[in-house]
Structure formats: structure tokens, C-alpha cells
């Protein structure tokens, strides 16, 4: 039977809403200060000659429970491009946090690490792992 990804994505959104809300409160102030002016965006193609487009959004079955068919669905829905991946160079990542890969959720650049309190980085890492576990639970029953 073909998976109804629209319905599954809504389920993931509802199940992770508390974790995503806390992540937002921890990170948004710092990100809105530093990201708009950043010339070394971690998601951009020039970064390590990798970036979002070349990595496919950093979805990797080794670290992330998102199956390739769901990644394909997200690429179509959020207009993944061969140049920028899921990144909109003007406004940032097109994916809502609950759909970002584990690698994207757990990674903090040097500038973020300087400005965030250590406790906030630890908390954000814990939340990223919680989101991954919740997704795993939902996706194993698909």
C-alpha cells in the first residue's frame, strides 16, 4: 500500500510540537541576529563544497529515520533545487523544523556556539534526539 505522506507529516508535526516550540525559543533570537548577514551559511553550496543541495538535505539513513520515499516527497513539496537544496538564500531553510534531518537539527555552527549558553546547546541536542525518536516511532509503523 502507498504511504499517505501528507497524513504522516501532519502526525509528525502534532507529535513534535512541544519540542519544536522549545527549540524555537532557544534558537530563534540568536539565529535572527547572525544568519541574515552570514556569508558562510552552513547550508549553502559553497560551504565545504557540500551544503544542502549536494547532501540531499543531510538525510542519511545511518542517522535519520526519514525513509528515501519521504525525502522524495519533501523534495517535491518544498521545491528542492539542484543549486540550493532546501535553502532559500533570502529566507533560510524552507523546511519546518520538525521535518529537518537529524544532522540539521543537531548541528550548531561556531557563531551559534559562541552566542548560545552551553545549557541551551545541550538542551537543543536533547530535543533533536527526542524529535528523531518520535519520528522513528511514527515511521516504523508506516
Residues that bind ligand SF4 (CB under 6 A): 31, 34-35, 38, 40-43, 52, 57-58, 85-87, 93, 95, 100, 104, 109, 111-112
Minimum Å distance from CB 1 to ligand SF4? 28
**DSSP-derived secondary structure for 71-120:** HHHHHHHTT-BTTTBTEETTTEESS-GGGS-HHHHH---HHHHHHS-HHH
Strands 87-88, 92-93: pairing is antiparallel
Smaller CB separation from ligand SF4, 8 or 106: 106
How many angstroms separate the CA atoms of 55 and 136, rounded?
21
DSSP bridge pairs for 92: 88
Minimum Å distance from CB 45 to ligand SF4? 10
Nearest to 83 by CA among 120, 51, 117, 111: 51
Smaller CB separation from ligand SF4, 38 or 139: 38
Minimum Å distance from CB 74 to ligand SF4? 9
Nearest to 57 by CA among 35, 84, 19, 32: 84
Minimum Å distance from CB 96 to ligand SF4? 10
Smaller CB separation from ligand SF4, 93 or 128: 93
Smaller CB separation from ligand SF4, 2 or 128: 128
Amino acid at each position: 500500500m502507498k504511504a499517505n505522506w501528507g497524513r504522516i507529516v501532519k502526525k509528525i508535526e502534532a507529535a513534535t510540537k512541544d519540542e519544536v516550540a522549545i527549540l524555537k525559543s532557544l534558537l530563534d533570537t540568536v539565529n535572527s541576529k547572525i544568519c541574515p548577514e552570514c556569508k558562510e551559511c552552513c547550508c549553502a553550496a559553497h560551504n565545504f563544497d557540500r551544503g544542502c543541495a549536494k547532501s540531499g538535505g543531510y538525510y542519511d539513513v545511518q542517522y535519520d529515520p526519514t525513509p528515501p520515499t519521504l525525502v522524495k516527497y519533501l523534495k517535491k513539496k518544498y521545491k528542492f533545487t539542484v543549486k540550493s537544496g532546501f535553502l532559500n538564500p533570502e529566507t533560510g531553510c524552507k523546511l519546518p523544523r520538525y521535518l529537518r534531518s537529524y544532522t540539521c537539527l543537531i548541528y550548531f555552527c561556531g557563531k551559534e556556539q559562541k552566542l548560545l549558553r552551553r545549557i541551551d546547546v545541550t538542551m537543543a541536542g536533547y530535543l533533536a534526539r527526542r524529535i528523531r525518536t518520535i519520528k522513528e516511532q511514527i515511521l516504523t509503523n508506516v
